Amino acid sequence: MAFDIEMIKAVYDKYPTRIAAARKATGRPLTLTEKILYAHLSEGEAKVAYERGVSYVDFKPDRVAMQDATAQMALLQFMQAGRDQVAVPSTVHCDHLIQAEVGAVADLTKAKDKNREVYDFLASVSNKYGIGFWKPGAGIIHQVVLENYAFPGGMMIGTDSHTPNAGGLGMIAIGVGGADACDVMAGLPWELKFPKLIGVKLTGKLSGWTSAKDVILKVAGILTVKGGTGAVVEYFGEGANSLSATGKGTICNMGAEIGATTSIFGYDEKSAAYLRGTDRSDIADMADQIKEHLNADAEVYANPEQYFDQVIEINLSELEPHINGPFTPDLAWPLSKFAAAVKENGWPAKLEVGLIGSCTNSSYEDISRAASLAQQAVDKKLLAKSEYTITPGSEQVRFTVERDGFLNVFDKMGGVVLANACGPCIGQWARHGAEKQEKNSIITSFNRNFAKRADGNPNTHSFVASPEIVTAMAIAGDLTFNPMTDTLTNEEGQQVKLEEPRGLELPTKGFAVEDAGYQAPAEDGSSVEVIVDPKSDRLQLLDPFQPWEGTDLKGLKLLIKAKGKCTTDHISMAGPWLRFRGHLDNISNNMLIGAVNFYNEETNKVKNQLSGEYGEVPAVQRQYKLHGVGSIVVGDENYGEGSSREHAAMEPRFLGVRAILVKSFARIHETNLKKQGMLALTFANPADYELVQEDDSIDIVGLESFAPGVQLTVVLNHADGSKDEIKVNHTYNAGQIEWFKAGSALNLIKAGV
């Protein structure tokens, strides 16, 4: 479970020269975000100043982390790269496929049986290619990373949107799709638009019922779910320095809920204490030596408005506990106003379930503070009125809090400990009765609360708060209860009041664990066999995509002309399709089934030009593939927005779609299409979208002289014998054109180019 000390030393060794070059290029003091980004530029680029929100830049991350749902396709792709080992330290974490139902032991046992072939594959492919493997039950990816791998000033990508959790230890950590992870593991640089910067200045100090969770709940209310898009949120100030490292992790984790690229705190005494408390004193010692590089320049903190694109200031001493929701994480309510909001909006006041833990709030500090309230309930003879669950973030935390008696306290209060996994937070919750779709309320210390997310019931009103507030609400069973001011009636009919929660940032006896759940890879994986059953319906080895044939593309059939919003969820749905994330053929049966057909206003119903009949999109495309006929997809604005899942690009490629022609692309999806060897084209004149007819045979001309910045021509051959010639744009650079010619970026890597 080594944390790659030599790699970290190499990162720190280059900091002084890289940051000096960046300061010279920009001609001004630097924020912490800029320092880390400039320190991780691909070789030869450190002397260039980039325009925020405009410039696309290649970076060299220090490590990759993958969760089990997304790791499957990422590693299946990596197997095609021709590499003996990953190029950067990488880990796989089995946390997404464990469904919560009755309790930790039974749920984990069931998951191991149900997902055995996926776990065996992930374990074996990790063993072969030098990837650390965290077994099911070891914990949630982000908590495990914070405890073992995050380090100040580092840069990491992870195949999960809450990867920014590691920003609590001063790391630039960004959520990506599996294709990006694959490329970095194969040794390619990683492209990112140089982000804008939002500075959040924290003054004062938290006290009483208020916790770090309330900081991000407040920020979410200010910025909304879109306010951080394209930006890194950098926290600083005396208030920031007063927060625990895990509290900072909570704040950075939920930065995903405001659309931020990532969030980060500088290195301070709290960071050092956490590193030393998790047996990483040598990292703390090294970080201490370059501490000035692990924070913004003093001039930035003195005059933040000059260096950030936006500045927000929050006084922690005045901050009130918040509850956000329902149905969106940015609907922020101060605790003093929440009861009135419940009544005014007609939300169910009776609380059915309180859930604490998850990757967002499962630290020792979180659990110890919640346990202090549970102990009060026991001592004051209060019976919890709501169901109450606890999801530890890692086996190390679970073992330690059990040793220190907290789990026993929760048990006395009526709590149920779930497996060290994502569980209800991502919808892996077999909640009994949810199928009735009754109107009800739950409150969690998780990060997201969209409709149907936790239990599949669109009428479940889900609220987000700190573990302390969740625990107090579960004891009361009533969302109109304010633990700061209200009393409760105990079993003896007495009025009692909950006192302020108390806890410890780190265990006084240190962390302990018998089996953390880590499996180190083989030193030489050449003889290791990757386990994939050829008959499996969940896993399928990939074959390389065919290279470009060297000619213009003629006679393409129109598969679908998508109308309006077409996100990656429309292109490759999740839900029940999650089980096929490692089987490209099977998951391709969901390709574009959510897209609206321009010609009939229906989903999953398009014309088969070979038969003249209408059929489901994947079935029609399979007919084209069977007969060796290429096809094209036409789309509207911002095609491919949403999740970065690479399946939305791989499925069309696999089934024989040759090009995607749209008014505009979401950036990540456009890049994913390029990596899979597809043509991603945009109308030079968006109005030409209207010229595309249902029975068109389409040619793409100019590919033999395909070059950066040079338009291509699309010929729309209509059924009546007429035709339209239109110009289309692309954003391929020279290297990406080589991806297209080779058939995919991976083919080029495998060829050693």
pLDDT digits (tens, 9 = 90+) for 104-138: 999 999 999 999 999 999 999 999 999 999 999 99
Pairing of strands 712-717, 132-134: unpaired
Region 604-627 average pLDDT? 97
Is 224:255 a contact under the CB 8 Å cutoff?
A: no
Q: Which two tokens stand for residue 749?
A: 């890597």
**Rg of the chain in Å (alpha carbons):** 26
Q: Is the torsion defined by CA of 255, 581, 564, 460 positive or negative?
A: negative
**Does residue 225 carry a pLDDT above 90?**
no
Confidence of residue 644 (pLDDT cuts 50, 70, 90): low
- Which residue did the predictor score with more confidence, 581 or 316? 316
For residues 319 and 463, give the distance between their C-alpha atoms in angstroms, rounded to a whole number: 19
23 annotated active-site? no
In this predicted structure, what is the pLDDT of residue 322? 98
The distance from CA 125 to its chain's CA centroid, rounded to whole angstroms, is 22
Confidence of residue 64 (pLDDT cuts 50, 70, 90): very high
In this predicted structure, what is the pLDDT of residue 753? 57
For residues 698 and 692, give the distance between their C-alpha atoms in angstroms, rounded to a whole number: 9
Query: ∠ CA(249), CA(250), CA(256), 5° rounding?
Result: 95
Does residue 720 sit in helix, strand or coil? Answer: coil
In this predicted structure, what is the pLDDT of residue 10? 94
Does residue 48 sit in helix, strand or coil? Answer: coil
pLDDT digits (tens, 9 = 90+) for 656-686: 999 999 999 887 789 889 999 999 999 999 9
CATH class of the 322-496 domain in this structure = alpha beta
The single residue of 4, 62, 107, 160 carrying the catalytic annotation is 160
Confidence of residue 46 (pLDDT cuts 50, 70, 90): low
**Does residue 161 carry a pLDDT above 90?**
no
Residue with tokens 């590499």: 83
In this predicted structure, what is the pLDDT of residue 645? 78
In order, the DSSP letters of 289-357 are HTGGGGS--HHHHHSGGGTSSEEEEEETTT---EEE-SSSTT-EEEHHHHHHHHHHHT---BEEEEEEE
Residue 425 DSSP symbol: G
Confidence of residue 3 (pLDDT cuts 50, 70, 90): low
Instruction: List residues bridging with 173 in a β-sheet.
Output: 156
pLDDT digits (tens, 9 = 90+) for 478-529: 999 999 999 999 999 999 999 999 999 999 999 999 999 999 999 999 999 9
Query: What angle in degrees, to the nearest 10, is found between the helix axes of 647-655 and 617-626?
Result: 40
Residue 520 DSSP symbol: P
The single residue of 142, 322, 398, 448 carrying the catalytic annotation is 448
In this predicted structure, what is the pLDDT of residue 326? 97
Region 197-209 average pLDDT? 98
645 annotated active-site? yes
**Does residue 409 carry a pLDDT above 60?**
yes
Region 250-261 average pLDDT? 93
In this predicted structure, what is the pLDDT of residue 59? 95
160 annotated active-site? yes
Q: Which two tokens stand for residue 102?
A: 């009755």
Q: Which strands make up the sheet holding 322-324, listed edge to edge? A: 332-334, 322-324, 460-464, 440-444, 351-357, 387-391, 416-417
Level-2 CATH architecture, domain 5-315: 2-Layer Sandwich (3.30)
Contacts of 285 by beta carbon, 8 Å cutoff, 6+ apart: none
CATH for the 553-751 domain, from 3.40.50.11310, 3.20.19.10, 3.40.950.10, 3.30.230.10? 3.20.19.10
Q: Which two tokens stand for residue 24?
A: 């010279």
Residue type, 595: A
**Does residue 39 carry a pLDDT above 80?**
yes
Query: ∠ CA(66), CA(68), CA(71), 5° rounding?
Result: 55
Find, among 393, 444, 388, 442, the residue nearest to 413 by Cα.
Answer: 388
The single residue of 18, 40, 63, 96 carrying the catalytic annotation is 96
Q: In terms of C-beta density within 10 A (0-12 exposed, 13-18 middle, 19 or more buried), how is residue 706 classed?
A: middle
Contacts of 379 by beta carbon, 8 Å cutoff, 6+ apart: none
Residue type, 623: Q
In this predicted structure, what is the pLDDT of residue 2? 58
Confidence of residue 548 (pLDDT cuts 50, 70, 90): very high
Is 195:231 a contact under the CB 8 Å cutoff?
A: yes
pLDDT digits (tens, 9 = 90+) for 301-356: 999 999 999 999 999 999 999 999 999 999 999 999 999 999 999 999 999 999 99
Is 178:73 a contact under the CB 8 Å cutoff?
A: yes
How many CA atoms, within 13 angstroms, populate the side-chain half-sphere of residue 184? Answer: 30
Region 356-376 average pLDDT? 97
**Does residue 211 carry a pLDDT above 70?**
yes
How many CA atoms, within 13 angstroms, populate the side-chain half-sphere of residue 411? Answer: 8
In this predicted structure, what is the pLDDT of residue 293? 97
The single residue of 643, 658, 696, 699 carrying the catalytic annotation is 643
**pTM for the whole structure:** 0.89
Find, among 113, 148, 116, the residue nearest to 394 by Cα.
Answer: 148
**Does residue 533 carry a pLDDT above 70?**
yes
In this predicted structure, what is the pLDDT of residue 44? 65
Q: Which two tokens stand for residue 214?
A: 């309330």
697 annotated active-site? no
398 annotated active-site? no
The single residue of 4, 95, 183, 214 carrying the catalytic annotation is 95
How many CA atoms, within 13 angstroms, populate the side-chain half-sphere of residue 16? Answer: 6
Region 155-160 average pLDDT? 94
Residue with tokens 């009546």: 720
The single residue of 93, 398, 570, 645 carrying the catalytic annotation is 645
Count of positions (residues) in the chain: 753
Is 384:349 a contact under the CB 8 Å cutoff?
A: no
Residue 546 DSSP symbol: P
Q: What share of the chain is helix, strand, coil (3-state, %, to 5)?
A: 35, 20, 40
Q: Which two tokens stand for residue 129?
A: 């290619």
- Residue ranges of domains in the chain: 5-315, 322-496, 553-751
Q: Which two tokens stand for residue 501?
A: 């929660």
Find, among 129, 46, 54, the residue nearest to 91 by Cα.
Answer: 129
Considering 98-102, 480-484, 566-570, the range whose residues carry the highest mean pLDDT is 480-484
Does residue 646 sit in helix, strand or coil? Answer: coil
Is 610:627 a contact under the CB 8 Å cutoff?
A: yes
In this predicted structure, what is the pLDDT of residue 180? 86
62 annotated active-site? no
pLDDT digits (tens, 9 = 90+) for 170-191: 999 999 878 889 989 999 889 8
Query: Fold match between 5-315 and 553-751?
Result: no
For residues 547 and 386, give the distance between their C-alpha atoms in angstroms, rounded to a whole number: 59
Residue type, 472: A
In this predicted structure, what is the pLDDT of residue 80? 87
